[in-house]
Amino acid sequence: MGDGDKGEYLVGVDLGGTKIYAGVFKPGLSCIGTARVSTKADRGADAVIERVAHCVQDAVDECDLAMKQVRGVGVGAPGAVDTETGRVIFAPNLGWEDVQFKKALEKRLDVPVFVENDCNQAMLGVYEKELGAKPQHALGIFIGTGIGGGLILDRRLHAGFNRTGGEVGHMVLEVNGPKCGCGNSGCFEALASRSAIFRRVEDAVKDGQKTLLTDMLGKDLKDMRSGDLRKAIRRGDKFVEKVVEEAALYTGIAIANLINLLSPEIVVLGGGLIEALEDEMMAIILETAKDYAFPGTMKGVDIVASKLADEAGIMGGAVLARRETK
């Protein structure tokens, strides 16, 4: 199809617990416009779906296009998704259980909609856009407020029997470790996510630990972000450096566990924390993974940081829409 023909463009949407992000893509996956809106999950599923539809329409309008020029929409939702029916089975951050997401969104947009788990979708974006050689087995780990994953096995996303596969964040790494939001203790997410780092910093400050972060943000560390950790480390804050190093160490161990188990060709790290602290974390992550992986398992294996940042999710949505409307 040439430019201007009906149904050429692809839309990718990243539906998160706090914000909705939509991007319009050409078939070759170049992004030509985006839109962003808050999620307002507390208003309920119908209202959120309405906001997703709006966000898609805004992004399309931003590109001076009309909805009829969109071939398909791919949406990543933060939870377990039945990809065949586009039903969200369970998405705790949205408060959703058993929501017919695809159906409801198609009704509002009048174009085909395809739904995936958000980390799976981000991994699709990374795989298609960043991994030129299209490895047979590739793992994505996304570290931000929480930790999620996407497993590409035999060149396809692995979802498993209950379509809940790829939940790397709740791999227990330290049975007697810190409490996790999921109720267990010592999950990867409770040890190495942004929230885990922030909690460790906050607890230490309460116990009298000195850190540049309190100079920067005040005693209550209000609105602390990953970038603040980076700034403090670069200004010589040894305490913050140590906390971040610890998170990198756990990340390396988690990766070694995954390499021992699945023997991927490449592990890609993404998410806001890695984006902000790549220089501080990646070397330690690599060294630790090599140190912990079983002999023979690391040969020829790459561990890299994604360059896509926030774009991975919407890019993956476009990949999904393109694949499903072929």
On whether the CB atoms of residues 176 and 226 are closer than 8 A, the answer is: no
Residue 80 makes contact with a second copy by CB under 8 A: yes
Name residues contacting a second copy, limited to 294-323 (CB under 8 A). 294-301
Task: Please provide the distance, in angstroms rounded to a whole number, between the alpha carbons at the two ends of the chain.
Answer: 12
For residues 10 and 72, the answer to whether their CB atoms sit within 8 Å is yes
Candidate list 5, 18, 162, 220; residue touching a second copy; CB under 8 A: 162
How many CA atoms lie less than 13 Å away from 268 in the CB half-sphere?
28
Using CB under 8 A, pick the residue from 292, 305, 306, 321 that binds a second copy.
292
- Residue 229's nearest CA partner among 320, 126, 143 is 143
What is the Cβ-side half-sphere exposure of residue 109, based on CA atoms within 13 angstroms? Answer: 33
CB nearer to a second copy: pick between 18 and 162: 162
Stretch that binds a second copy, among 36-44, 68-76, 163-171, 214-222 (CB under 8 A): 163-171
Neighbours of 255 (CB within 10 A): 26
Query: Is-contact 75 101, C-beta < 8 A?
Result: yes
Residue from 32, 37, 212, 262 touching a second copy (CB under 8 A): that is 262
Does 284 bind a second copy (CB under 8 A)? Our answer is no
Where does this chain touch a second copy (CB under 8 A) — which range of 25-33, 70-78, 194-202, 290-298? Answer: 290-298
* Distance in Å, CB of 238 to a second copy, minimum: 22
Question: Does the protein bind a second copy through residue 171 (CB under 8 A)?
Answer: yes
Nearer to a second copy, 195 or 214 (CB): 195
Q: Which residues contact 311 (CB under 8 A, 6 or more apart)?
A: 23, 31, 125
DSSP H/E element including 231:
helix 226-234
d(CA 61, CA 92): 31
The residue among 12 and 252 lying less far from a second copy, judged by its C-beta, is 252
Helix (H) / strand (E) containing 176:
none
Instruction: Using CB under 8 A, pick the residue from 184, 209, 214, 325 that binds a second copy.
Output: 184
Among 105, 192, 256, 289, the residue binding a second copy under the rule CB under 8 A is 256
* Minimum separation from the CB atom of position 233 to a second copy (A): 23
62 vs 90, which CB is nearer to a second copy? 90
How far apart CA 142 and CA 198 sit, in angstroms, is 17
What residues contact 243, with CB distance under 8 A and at least 6 apart? 197, 200, 201, 204, 229
Which of 90, 89, 54, 91 shows the shortest CA–CA distance to 73? 54
- 133 touches a second copy (CB under 8 A): no
Contact residue for a second copy among 159, 240, 303, 315 (CB under 8 A)? 159
Exactly one of 1, 42, 175, 206 binds a second copy (CB under 8 A); which one? 175
Binding-site residue total for a second copy (CB under 8 A)? Answer: 53
Judged by the rule CB under 8 A, the positions of this chain that interact with a second copy are 80, 89-90, 92, 135-137, 149, 151, 153-154, 158-168, 170-177, 182, 184, 186, 250, 253, 256-258, 260-265, 292, 294-301
